[in-house]
Amino acid sequence: MNNFASLDQKATILTQNRYQRLSPWYDRIEARSERKFGPWRMSLWQKVIGPKVLEVGVGTGKNMPYYPPDLQISALDLTPGMLERAKKRAATLNKSVDLSLGDVQSLKFLDNTFDTVVATFVFCSVSDPIRGLREVNRVVKPGGRILLLEHVRIDRPIIGRMMDLLNPLASRITGANINRNTVKTVIDAGICIENIEHLGTMQMIKLIVARPNKE
């Protein structure tokens, strides 16, 4: 086993390994929930401003059917198995996408590169979400847009506590944390939230429209 410099790196490798293991069956596992998520993905992509767009955590490419035309889209994922499936989906849909391996916690792009950065159901799995969001903030142009679709901890005493108790098992099986307060994390990262749409059962899904903080 490699000796990593920090626990965060170990956590990132662990997440990568979990999604690599799940990648052959990922779309099948999420087929039922995707029927509900599809319209929310469409709504998010209608808010994108271009021409240069980055999607972090592209996964198997579930957002690709909703990509608007005439955009220059770059998309990355942490996991080789997921990325291979995204490449196949892009080819099937005839989508021109610059796909690459990458970690949102350490983006390879220069400052102020993109008009919009998109992430859907990603920051539940990032080992250091504040660091990842600060990287997103860095690569978005001044006046650009950050669009997030995320599931969060339900803010009810009993259900929230149950999510806390079940989270270690859920993250071990799926790689995703089910009890994160991503709205607070976005604020803590210094990003400026403009609007939040509360979606799904007990408003567990949040569609966050934000802009970068360049101060």
State both tokens at 10.
């170990």
- Give the chain's largest Cα–Cα span: 47
Predicted confidence (pLDDT) at residue 22 exceeds the cutoff of 60 = yes
Predicted confidence (pLDDT) at residue 2 exceeds the cutoff of 70 = no
Q: Which CATH architecture has domain 7-211?
A: 3-Layer(aba) Sandwich (3.40)
Determine the average pLDDT of the residues in 139-144: 97
Determine the average pLDDT of the residues in 33-42: 93
- β-partners of residue 199 are 205
What is the per-residue pLDDT across 99-124, written as a single tens digit (0 to 9) for each?
Answer: 999 999 999 999 999 999 999 999 99
> What's the rounded Cα separation, in Å, for the pair 9 and 155?
30
pLDDT at res. 170: 87
Determine the average pLDDT of the residues in 190-215: 95
Cβ neighbours, 10 Å, residue 189: 20
pLDDT at res. 87: 97
Handedness of CA 58, 9, 185, 179 (dihedral sign): positive
Q: Which of 74 and 15 is assigned the larger pLDDT? A: 74
pLDDT at res. 8: 66
pLDDT at res. 1: 30
Mean pLDDT of all residues belonging to the chain:
93
Q: What backbone torsions phi and psi does residue 143 show, to the nearest 5 degrees?
A: 80, 0
State both tokens at 11.
């956590």
Contact of 192 with 211, CB cutoff 8 Å: yes
The 3-state secondary structure of the chain reads: CCCCCCHHHHHHHHHHHHHHHHCCCHHHHCHHHHHHHHHHHHHHHCCCCCCEEEEECCCCCCCHHHCCCCCEEEEEECCHHHHHHHHHHHHHHCCCEEEEECCHHHCCCCCCCEEEEEEECCCCCCCCHHHHHHHHHHHEEEEEEEEEEEECCCCCHHHHHHHHHHHHHHHHHHCCCCCCCHHHHHHHCCCEEEEEEEECHHHCEEEEEEECCCC
Beta pairing, strands 140-151 & 114-120: parallel
What is the per-residue pLDDT across 145-201, written as a single tens digit (0 to 9) for each?
Answer: 999 999 999 989 899 999 999 999 988 888 889 899 999 999 999 999 999 999 998
> What's the rounded Cα separation, in Å, for the pair 41 and 176?
19
Predicted confidence (pLDDT) at residue 32 exceeds the cutoff of 90 = no
pLDDT at res. 187: 97
Q: Which of 200 and 7 is assigned the larger pLDDT? A: 200
Residue 64 carries which side chain, given as an amino acid letter? M
State both tokens at 181.
């307060």
Determine the average pLDDT of the residues in 9-37: 89
Residue ranges per structural domain of the chain? 7-211
In the sheet that holds 205-211, the strands lie side by side as 97-101, 72-77, 52-56, 114-120, 140-151, 205-211, 192-199
